Amino acid sequence: MEIRVFDVGHGFFSHILTDEGRNILVDCGDNSETGFTPSDYLTRRGCGVVDRLIVSNYDDDHLRGLPSLITSGIAINNLTRNFLITPEQLRELKLEGGELTQGMQGLLHMMTTMSYGTRDPNETPSLRLEVFANPYPHFTDTNNLSVVAFLHCGAVHMAFTGDMERAGWLALLQDPTQNQRFVQQLSTVNVFVASHHGRVNGFCEEVFEHCHPAIIIVSDSNIQYETQEFDYAPYASGISWPDGSTRYVLTTRTDGVITIQQAVGSMNASIFAQSLSIHFERGDLLLKQWDLFSNRGFICAPVKLFTYSSILKGIDVRMWPSANAYLIKRPIKDRPILLSHFIM
């Protein structure tokens, strides 16, 4: 099993590959600065079918990569969304804010041709999915109409939270028809994706009365506003990092692509992140995909690096003796790139 959370700026995109080879996507954000798109990534990996697309939020930063995915020829077999709002209601709601984006147009077309709702059967023997959402018109903003999806796969119990805000969290906690199940799901989580890209309006103290994750993941762009500086660290128990520190929060803005892996039949999971050393200048080398295989908690070969325009050739990969990392020597310049890794 492998779960990747990608750096798509102020947006979200995650790819889940199950033990059975099923491909599940959470949202379809892209990165206009680097040129990353989900369709390019999936095509490069040889993925011709998306078994399920989970749309956690109806805003464009979660959907910008959907048009290219639809036209890429990659089939999307199932759609999970908040079915407590109809396509017609969603169209009217989004038109209140202006012209429909291409991502929303693509999603609306899918919503009219796919009848899949919020709750889905188990995907595969190795994966279980539970999904919760608030109804329209009890909420008329897309953030509080987000989906909260709990994914259980072996030792990993992960919550994808969309852009849910405090009012929406409280509604789910207080809903008598689903409160018990929702609280039970929160209590199992060890990897929590912060709502609304870690902004303060996505935080709800009451959620963490039931949820005690080991690590919290934030998908967001560079800090520009005070609302991005909310500290989630006190709400995670933390995990050991190779440099001897304890990490409570991982962010795509500083850690890059965040990957969770678990071998078939294993009861342990590993998490690692693309961590750049202080000697690496952003933009000097753009990395689009990392294929890292772990062994007893240390990174080992093979490692594949891709630029956004073509596969980088002439790479010399060798162990960096001063750390559990690889020294990547480029043909023109030598700049070390640190690859961090730890076991949950």
Cα–Cα distance, 217 to 53 (Å, whole number):
20
Q: Give per-residue pLDDT as tens, 117-152.
A: 444 445 578 899 999 999 999 999 999 999 999 999
pLDDT at 280: 23
Amino acid at 312: L
Helix (H, G, I), strand (E, B) or coil at 20: coil
Residue 69 CA: distances (Å) to CA of 17, 18, 46, 101, 108: 17, 20, 14, 15, 15
Are the CB atoms for 191 and 213 separated by under 8 Å?
Answer: yes
Q: What secondary structure does DSSP assign to 154-207, as a single string?
A: TTEEEEE-TT--HHHHHHHHH-TTTHHHHHHHHHH-SEEEPGGGG-GGG--GGG
Global pTM exceeds 0.85: no
Low-confidence ranges of the chain (pLDDT < 70): 115-123, 274-344
Residue 163 CA: distances (Å) to CA of 197, 219, 239, 249: 7, 11, 25, 18
Which domains does the chain carry? 2-263 (3.60.15.10)
Q: Give per-residue pLDDT as tens, 254-289.
A: 999 999 998 887 777 888 786 432 222 222 222 222
Are the CB atoms for 285 and 330 separated by under 8 Å?
Answer: yes
